[in-house]
A and B are shown apart, each in its own frame.
Chain A
Amino acid sequence: MNRFIKGLKGGIPIGLGYLSVSFTFGIFTVSQGFAWWQAVLISLTTVTSAGQLAGVGVMARGGSLAEMLISQLTINLRYSFMSVSLSQKVSEEFSGIKRWLLGFFMTDEIFATASGEKEVDSVYFSGLSVMPYIGWGIGTLLGSLLGNVLPQSLMNALCIAIYGMFVAIVAPVAKANIKVLAVVGIAVALSLAFYYLPFLSGVSDGLAISVCAVAAALAGALVFPVKEEESDG
């Protein structure tokens, strides 16, 4: 039970961050002509930010199912790497059906928080998933029903929260471990290139993130291999 509570607490900041992000998703989806329950249903079945936005885009313009599938595969490719990465940290009992069920909740932030644990058991992971899932659903509901009731300045401020969390996860490790700092530097440099270089900026954001993350991690593994005990930590 303690492990569940620990997970629950770890999920609180994620849930809060998700409130604001999914609020924006709710507003966007209704503005594209969808009903509030459709926005909520998309959020509760999919639980991903960029993928949902792209998915609503495809639906709204009546795109093909193949287009839907390809956009989701490229945007969400990063989850495969996260799943493989986290599979190395899970405890003995976290197997079989538990992985099929809980794999549903493998979001960027849940993955990142779980990665900070020495060992991830299924009870902790379940607890960790609760608040983000609730936050994601409620935020979507409020956004699609209330629309633009919050002042723009407040919405703007809330939108940075999720990135603040990312920074809070990466910065302490990068400060303590110069190899991580170097690899993070490579990832950021590549990401900037994809954003600002004209011949690369046409690549979708989701695919660009996967390419940058994989290339930087490959470079890191080549140049700065980590020792056994480091990668366990």
Chain B
Amino acid sequence: MDNGSFFIYLMVLAGSTYLIRAIPFAAMRRKVKNSFVRSFLYYIPYTVLSAMTFPAALYATGNVTAAAVGLAVAVVFAVLGMGLTVVAVASSVAVFLAELVINACIF
């Protein structure tokens, strides 16, 4: 692809992504009073993150079982109140070890 078309594509890609983030952020100047809308906005972060995690995380690694082990470890560590970094590292280590064990069992 020539550079000209690349930059036109990039403008649409980056521009639309920017505007969809910035316009609502800049436009919402007042605090929402309506309790229904407030409740909706309160729940949004949690529903977005959960919908992104399940079931996509199960297919993020090479092996569904290993990913499930990693997710289970993440849930346990998070419920125990560990911070973001600890949970992220623990789930990665769990996936690594689980894949080792699974591969050892196959061969």
The answer to whether A73 and B20 touch across the interface, beta carbons within 8 angstroms, is yes
Q: How many A-B contacts are there with CB distance less than 8 Å?
A: 300
Asked if A203 lies at the interface with its beta carbon under 8 angstroms from chain B, I say no
Question: Would you give the 0/1 interface string for B32-76, flagging 1 where the beta carbon is closer than 8 Å to chain A?
Answer: 100111111111111111111111110011110011001100110
The answer to whether B54 and A188 touch across the interface, beta carbons within 8 angstroms, is yes
The answer to whether B45 and A164 touch across the interface, beta carbons within 8 angstroms, is no
Asked if A12 lies at the interface with its beta carbon under 8 angstroms from chain B, I say yes
Chain A: interface residue count, which band?
A: 35 or more
The answer to whether A163 and B53 touch across the interface, beta carbons within 8 angstroms, is yes
The answer to whether B84 and A85 touch across the interface, beta carbons within 8 angstroms, is no
The answer to whether A78 and B71 touch across the interface, beta carbons within 8 angstroms, is no
Given contacts A213-B51, A221-B37, contact A157 B93 (CB under 8 A): yes
> Counting chain A CB atoms within 10 Å of each CB, which of B14, B37, B56, B79 scores highest?
B14
Asked if A84 lies at the interface with its beta carbon under 8 angstroms from chain B, I say yes
The answer to whether A85 and B39 touch across the interface, beta carbons within 8 angstroms, is no
Partner of B42, one of A46, A76, A82, A226: A226
Given contacts A88-B32, A167-B78, A168-B78, contact A160 B70 (CB under 8 A): yes
Question: Would you give the 0/1 interface string for A92-106, flagging 1 where the beta carbon is closer than 8 Å to chain B?
Answer: 000110011011101
- List chain A residues, Cβ under 8 A from B28: 83-84, 87-88
- List chain B residues, Cβ under 8 A from A58: 9
Given contacts A162-B88, A168-B82, A172-B81, contact A191 B40 (CB under 8 A): no
**Cα distance A173–B45 when bound, in Å?**
11
Asked if B26 lies at the interface with its beta carbon under 8 angstroms from chain A, I say yes
The answer to whether B51 and A45 touch across the interface, beta carbons within 8 angstroms, is no
- List chain A residues, Cβ under 8 A from B89: 161, 164
**Distance to closest chain B CB from A219 (angstroms):** 9
Residue of A nearest to B33 (CB): A228
Asked if A123 lies at the interface with its beta carbon under 8 angstroms from chain B, I say no
The answer to whether A13 and B88 touch across the interface, beta carbons within 8 angstroms, is yes
Question: Would you give the 0/1 interface string for B6-38, flagging 1 where the beta carbon is closer than 8 Å to chain A?
Answer: 101110111011101111111011011001111
Sorted nearest first, the 4 A-B pairs with minimum C-beta distance are: A103-B22, A164-B91, A171-B78, A87-B28
What are 16 sample pairs from A and B whose C-beta atoms fall under 8 A apart?
A55-B9, A72-B17, A99-B26, A104-B22, A108-B48, A108-B52, A160-B95, A163-B52, A164-B87, A167-B74, A167-B91, A175-B79, A218-B40, A220-B40, A231-B38, A231-B41
Interface residues of A (CB under 8 A from B): 12-14, 16-17, 33-34, 38, 41-42, 45-48, 51-52, 55, 58-59, 62, 65, 68-69, 72-73, 76-88, 95-96, 99-100, 102-104, 106, 108, 111-113, 115, 152-154, 156-175, 180, 183-184, 186-188, 190-192, 195-196, 205, 208-209, 212-214, 216-218, 220-222, 224-226, 228, 230-231
